[in-house]
Amino acid sequence: MIIAKDIGALRQAVRDLRAAGTLALVPTMGALHEGHLTLIREARRHADAVAASIFVNPRQFGPNEDLDAYPRQLAEDQRMLEGEGVALLWAPPVDQVYPAGFATSIAVSGVSEGFCGASRPGHFDGVATVVCKLFNQIQPDVALFGEKDWQQLAVIRRMARDLDLTLPHADAIIGVPTVREADGLAMSSRNRYLTPEQRQAAVTLPRAMRAAIAAIAEGADFAAALAELRQTLVEGGFASVDYADIADADSLQPASTPGENALRLLVAARIGGTRLIDNMPVG
């Protein structure tokens, strides 16, 4: 595996890999787990070679968020990626991505405004900016992202369409279903912040979401099912619920009744100091 830490080394490695065949990109912030490895394995089915990036992107963290505490374990991540046959790891220091004087930001309106966009102002500008840079730097034929960050996926697809990105083009941005622990909790690098008691309580999140979806399938109205979901989370040990809503799966426009378009239940809730997100299809 080639490990590039500066833009010159990256460009050379990308040139060589692209001359030899197609290239898939899996962008990450490291602290890899089975969910990331699933993305890598899926990426190998779509291209001749896989590039991964590890970059804890400061621009997508708010001033009171966990940028400094975010887990960093480059040596271990490197071993895991090597084990999965990744051809190129791009692991730049911050000044390679944001050199002095960096002044550009990409804002995707609409899809980035509700949900995590409302409770984390600026977050999706940071995501869109860094992902656009990664696409330009690596020019992958396809790029893979976890569906766990459903809104992020919608923002990136919108950006790719709006900016006429050709590598990867919007349809070549592939969402991979959420990988879950045996008890149903969605895998996340932030799960390691949970104490054993919080970890046990966290399973209330997917369970309550499934119960809400089942109630809706049996005819419950959305508002009642969502109120029940919120109450179950708080009774189950969550400190607060940032949002628990149903929206059009593509536009993320709120939905209050079933319709023709696919719908998604999206939830963010805090347990102790940790904010967990999850989403599931409705219907």
Question: Which residues bind to ligand PAF, rule: CB under 6 A?
Answer: 27-29, 57, 60, 127, 130-131, 149, 152
Dist CA 15 CA 85 (whole Å): 19
Q: Which is nearer to ligand PAF, 146 or 206 (CB)?
A: 146
Ligand-binding site membership of 105 (annotated): no
CB of 206 to ligand PAF, least distance (A): 19
R_g (Cα) of the chain, nearest Å: 19
Is 240 labeled as ligand-binding? Answer: no
DSSP 136-150: HHH--SEEEEETTSH
Q: Would you say 173 or 263 has its CB closer to ligand PAF?
A: 173
Q: What does the alpha-carbon distance between residue 73 and residue 85 come to, in Å, rounded to a whole number?
A: 19
CB of 148 to ligand PAF, least distance (A): 8
What type of residue is 7?
I
Could you confirm whether 36 is annotated as catalytic?
yes
Rounded Cα–Cα distance for residues 225 and 253 (Å): 18
The tokens 């010159």 sit on which residue? Answer: 8
148 in a labelled binding site: yes
Coil, strand or helix at 281: strand
CB of 137 to ligand PAF, least distance (A): 13
Amino acid identity, position 123: H
Q: Would the annotation count 187 as a binding residue?
A: yes
Annotated binding residue 36: yes
Active-site option among 36, 46, 123, 169 = 36
Smallest separation, CB 59 to ligand PAF (Å)? 9
Taking residue 115's Cβ as centre, other Cβ atoms within 10 Å add up to 24
What are the backbone angles phi and psi of residue 38, rounded to the nearest 5°?
-65, -40
State how beta strands 274-282 and 88-90 pair. Answer: unpaired
Query: For residues 29 and 280, which CB has a smaller minimum distance to ligand PAF in the complex?
Result: 29
- Looking at the Cβ atoms of 27 and 175, the one nearer to ligand PAF is 27
Instruction: Write out the two tokens for 20.
Output: 């030899």
Question: Which segments are annotated as binding site for ATP?
Answer: 29-36, 146-149, 179, 187-190
Catalytic residue positions, numbered:
36
Question: Which segments are annotated as binding site?
Answer: 29-36, 60, 146-149, 152, 179, 187-190
